[in-house]
Each structure stands twice: as C-alpha cells, then as structure tokens.
C-alpha cells in the first residue's frame, strides 16, 4: 500500500517537497522548509488523493486511519518531550 501520511518538522521530512501533486501546496512548502533546516513545528500532511477520496465518500480510506494514528502518536510523544524539557528548570 502506498504511503498516505507524511511527517515533517522532526528531522528530514518524509514527503518529497517537489511532489505538490501528492502533498498539496502547503504540505510541499512545509516539507521544503523542513528539508532546508528551517524551524518548522512538527506535523503531518495527508496525501491529496486521500483528501479527494474523503470529499467524495465522506470516509477515510481503509488503512489510512492507522497511518494517521501513528502520526498523531508521534506528535504527542514529541509534544510530551518538549513539555518536559520546558518544565525542567535550568541550572
């Protein structure tokens, strides 16, 4: 099955910034900024074909929900780590 969810902002982006057809304009822009090492808050982009399918069928295609759940869990882990770091007083 093809990849449908692309993480960015936490290391190299998973999506190719040149693939506007796959990531959409905003997703490609975020992937490009992330690839350049610019500070981009972590997040993920859902492939444009999934968005089109959802607009037509009003349901998330089979298999995509698990990819979204993994991306959300990755964001939650990263947010928890960031919160712990901010909560610790510096010496």
Assessment of whether the complete model's pTM goes beyond 0.85 = no
pLDDT score for 10: 85
pLDDT at position 88 is 59
> 86: which 2 tokens?
């901010």
Angle between helices 20-35 and 48-57 (to 10 degrees): 140
Instruction: Give me the residues of the chain with pLDDT under 50, please.
Output: none
Smallest Cα–Cα separation from 42: which of 12, 8, 70? 8
* Coil/strand/helix, residue 62: coil
Phi, psi of 84 (to 5 degrees): -65, -40
Q: What is the pLDDT of residue 91?
A: 52
């Amino acid at each position: 099955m093809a990849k449908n969810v692309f993480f960015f902002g936490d290391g190299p982006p998973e999506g190719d910034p040149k693939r506007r057809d796959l990531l959409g304009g905003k997703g490609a822009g975020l992937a490009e900024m992330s690839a350049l090492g610019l500070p981009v808050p972590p997040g993920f982009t859902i492939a444009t074909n999934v968005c089109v399918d959802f607009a037509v069928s009003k349901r998330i295609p089979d298999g995509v929900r698990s990819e979204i759940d993994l991306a959300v869990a990755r964001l939650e882990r990263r947010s928890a780590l960031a919160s712990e770091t901010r909560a610790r007083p510096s010496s």
